[in-house]
Amino acid sequence: MKITIQTPGIRARRELLDLINEKVAKLSHLSDRILEARVLIKADKSDKRNNKVCEISLVIPGNDLFAKIQSVTFERAVHDAVSASKRQIVNWKEEMKQRR
C-alpha cells in the first residue's frame, strides 16, 4: 500500500510523519485490496482549540473510504481517524461477505 501524506500550510515534525506512517501502514493488514492511503494534515483557521484536522482517504477498487477527524492535537486526530478507518474497513468487508 502506498501512503501519501500532505501537510498544506504547516511544517510537520518527523515524529508526526513517522506516527502517521506507522498507524496507517497497519491498515493494510486488514485488507490486501487497499491500494493507497492519502493522508491530509491541516490546521483549520478557527479560534477553537480543536482545530487540528486529519483526513484519511483509502483507495480500494470500486469503493473508496474516507475519514475526517478534528481534534486538539494532530496525534489525537491521526489516532481517531485511523480508528474510524478501521471500523469502515471492517464494515466494508462484512458488506462484501454478505453480497457473496
Give the pLDDT score at 39. Answer: 97
With beta carbons less than 8 A apart as the criterion, state whether 64 and 30 touch.
no
What is the domain range of residue 64? Answer: 2-99
pTM, two decimals, is 0.92
Sign of CA dihedral 58, 23, 84, 77: negative
- How many structural domains comprise the chain? 1
Angle between helices 74-99 and 14-25 (to 10 degrees): 20
Residue 100, pLDDT above cutoff 80: no
| CATH number assigned to the domain comprising residue 68 | 3.30.160.100
Give the pLDDT score at 99. Answer: 83
Condensed to tens digits (0 to 9), the pLDDT of residues 30-59 reads 999 999 999 999 998 877 788 899 999 999
Residue 63, pLDDT above cutoff 90: no
